């Protein structure tokens, strides 16, 4: 039985749907502090839950005989800068609570998302290696770096089977993301269709590593299904897929919407984006558990514009 904590979020919503398709609706318990999409709420069991309430989580684990936990609840980079202490509390105490449940043998396996935000402005920017300088300058990045090494500690010291991925920016249309620096790459499609124009909060040449949600969900499940022996890293696996700038994205959108206009008004989020890598070396994931992305910028743009159009019409 699988428990998703943070199932109403951008990744949680789609991961819940995919896991239910694979394992059966009743075998995947969704939980969050607030209800999620109609599709997610109606397709299987849901429990209201505070991700920092370890006893509450244990109660749900026992009630449903949970064996695997995907802990996706977190405060992302932009929101975390506005509420540093709350972000640290949510991002860290939720992880330490779930790691303890695994150490106490209440659950068998844990997935915890890290991020390319663990890298900072002193990290080599291009094709950032799996092992390199990591001096994050955001609360979110600090919490993800610390969390990765807690995961590694619990694995080394207590044999906990916890697995983690350093996600790049993730692009999706089903659930609006909450407070990420890379959210421009989602907003741009909605605004292009609705208003024919987009005011970008990053500068036009800000190159960032990104991936499509379908690839992110597939990679997550692939890592969790990998043989123990193949999971050679118990910090977070670099995952890159593709990388692009807002300008390159606008050019791709113009192939579908020739009159689309973009303007650039960098704000405080530019500083966060500028501290992150431009592209990622994810060869460790490709070697250890056959990671392979499917969606490039052209495919993502076609998918996003098609789905947003039909969704908004419905
Ligand atoms: C954010 N979407 O922007 C997240 C992610 C690498 C970016 O961690 O904060």
Q: Which ipTM was obtained for this model? A: 0.96
Per-residue pLDDT reduced to its tens digit, 116-140: 999 999 999 999 999 999 999 999 9
Q: Span 9-32, mean pLDDT?
A: 97
13 Cα: distance to centroid of ligand 1 (angstroms)? 16
Please give the share of the chain, as a percent, with pLDDT higher than 70.
Answer: 99
How many other β-carbons are positioned within 10 Å of the β-carbon of residue 136? 24
Per-residue pLDDT reduced to its tens digit, 40-55: 999 999 999 999 999 9
Is 140 marked active-site? yes
Residue of the CA atom closest to atom 7 of ligand 1: 169
Is 115 close to ligand 1, i.e. is its CB under 6 Å away?
yes
Atom of ligand 1 nearest to the CA of 144: 8
What backbone phi and psi angles, to 5 degrees, belong to 55? Answer: -65, -40
Q: How many CA atoms lie within 13 A of 62 on its CB side?
A: 8
Is 2 close to ligand 1, i.e. is its CB under 6 Å away?
no
pTM: 0.96
The active-site residue, picked from 70, 140, 184, 198, is 140
Residue of the CA atom closest to atom 1 of ligand 1: 180
Per-residue pLDDT reduced to its tens digit, 150-177: 999 999 999 999 999 999 999 999 988 7
Is 238 close to ligand 1, i.e. is its CB under 6 Å away?
no
Is 128 close to ligand 1, i.e. is its CB under 6 Å away?
no
Q: Output the CA–CA distances (angstroms, integers) from residue 99 to 78, 87, 89, 155, 200, in the order listed.
A: 26, 18, 15, 9, 39
Distance of CA 220 to the CA centre of its chain: 10
Per-residue pLDDT reduced to its tens digit, 271-292: 999 999 999 999 999 999 999 9
Q: Span 301-307, mean pLDDT?
A: 97
Out of 76, 118, 186, mutate this one to test ligand 1's pocket (max ligand atoms within 8 Å of CB): namely 76
Is 117 close to ligand 1, i.e. is its CB under 6 Å away?
yes
Q: Span 20-31, mean pLDDT?
A: 98
Q: Output the CA–CA distances (angstroms, integers) from residue 40 to 70, 161, 224, 241, in the order listed.
A: 16, 27, 21, 27
Taking the C-alpha atoms of residue 225 and residue 228, their distance in angstroms, rounded to an integer, is: 9
Q: Output the CA–CA distances (angstroms, integers) from residue 102 to 109, 135, 154, 190, 302, in the order listed.
A: 7, 29, 9, 40, 41
Coil, helix or strand for 102?
helix
Q: Give pLDDT, residue 296.
A: 98
Taking the C-alpha atoms of residue 220 and residue 170, their distance in angstroms, rounded to an integer, is: 13
Is 233 close to ligand 1, i.e. is its CB under 6 Å away?
no
What backbone phi and psi angles, to 5 degrees, belong to 209? Answer: -75, 135
Taking the C-alpha atoms of residue 308 and residue 189, their distance in angstroms, rounded to an integer, is: 8
């Amino acid at each position: 039985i699988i428990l998703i904590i943070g199932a109403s979020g951008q990744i949680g919503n789609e991961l819940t749907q995919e896991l239910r398709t694979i394992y059966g609706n009743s075998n995947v318990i969704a939980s969050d502090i607030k209800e999620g999409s109609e599709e997610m709420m109606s397709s299987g069991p849901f429990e209201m839950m505070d991700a920092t309430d370890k006893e509450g989580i244990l109660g749900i684990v026992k009630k449903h005989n949970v064996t695997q936990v995907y802990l996706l609840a977190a405060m992302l980079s932009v929101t975390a800068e506005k509420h540093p202490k709350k972000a640290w509390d949510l991002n860290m105490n939720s992880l330490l609570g779930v790691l303890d449940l695994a150490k106490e043998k209440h659950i068998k396996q844990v997935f915890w998302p890290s991020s390319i935000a663990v890298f900072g402005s002193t990290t080599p920017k291009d094709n950032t290696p799996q092992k390199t300088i990591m001096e994050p300058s955001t609360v979110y990045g600090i919490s993800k770096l610390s969390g990765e090494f807690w995961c590694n500690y619990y694995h080394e010291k207590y044999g906990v089977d916890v697995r983690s991925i350093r996600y790049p920016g993730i692009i999706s249309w089903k659930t609006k993301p909450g407070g990420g620096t890379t959210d421009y790459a989602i907003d741009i499609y909605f605004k292009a269709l609705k208003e024919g124009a987009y005011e970008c909060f990053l500068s036009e040449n800000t190159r960032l590593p990104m991936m499509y949600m379908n690839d992110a969900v597939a990679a997550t499940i692939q890592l969790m299904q990998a043989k123990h022996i193949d999971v050679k890293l118990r910090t977070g696996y670099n995952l890159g897929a593709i990388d692009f700038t807002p300008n390159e994205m606008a050019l791709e959108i113009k192939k579908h919407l020739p009159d689309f206009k973009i303007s650039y008004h960098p704000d405080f989020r530019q500083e966060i984006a500028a501290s992150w890598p431009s592209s990622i070396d994810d060869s460790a994931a490709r070697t250890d558990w056959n990671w392979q992305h499917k969606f490039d910028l052209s495919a993502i743009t076609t998918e996003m514009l098609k789905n947003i159009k039909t969704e908004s019409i419905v």
